Amino acid sequence: MDRKIRATTVVAVRKDGKVALGGDGQVTLGDTVMKTHAMKVRKIGNGKILTGFAGAVADAFTLFERLEQKLERFPENLTKAVVELAKDWRTDRFLRRLEAILVVADRNSLFLISGDGNVIQPDDAIAAIGSGGSYALAAARALKDHSDLPAAEIVRESLMIAGDICIYTNQDITVLELETGGDA
């Protein structure tokens, strides 16, 4: 999936016993802003899993539904659930056409999942996707390493920075948080 997703920014950070995931609210169609208050992050799996997406909304919701099915099949094993989702996404004729990328986190794990079969668990417990993802990733890395900010504030500040730079990202930000199983 070598497609450039230009529609949003989502970033996740694990730090000091917490994991936070946030996204901006802008929806664009081509070069036109269609909506400014969209919700691109949510809790699933009885509130134990944080998810966020960049790309087509209907496609992302389809993937969230599939992820929920995998979580029902593999409860308490997010790693197995996301790997199985990625396998299906890559091989299923219908799913293969979906244009989205996901960030998924629970108390212990953080993943970036794409339709080309990638399941990436970042070494530094930071993931970012979307058109402003590179800006948010750089900001989150700097803030995590060089500030005392908690995970949720790192996510918020990273998204604000991305919103200042990326024309497809705004500063209407939603941040969700979970307590983690340990330090990251």
The one catalytic residue among 8, 9, 51, 174: 8
Alpha carbon separation from 93 to 87, 96, 153, 156 (Å, rounded): 12, 5, 40, 37
Alpha carbon separation from 158 to 1, 39, 165 (Å, rounded): 25, 17, 11
d(CA 9, CA 133): 5
Does 169 participate in catalysis according to the annotation?
no
d(CA 162, CA 179): 25
Residues 6+ apart with CB under 8 A from 23: 8, 9, 10, 11, 39, 40, 41, 52, 130, 159, 173, 174
Helices (H) then strands (E): counts for the chain: 4, 11
Residue reference for tokens 């668990």:
121
Give the active site residues.
8
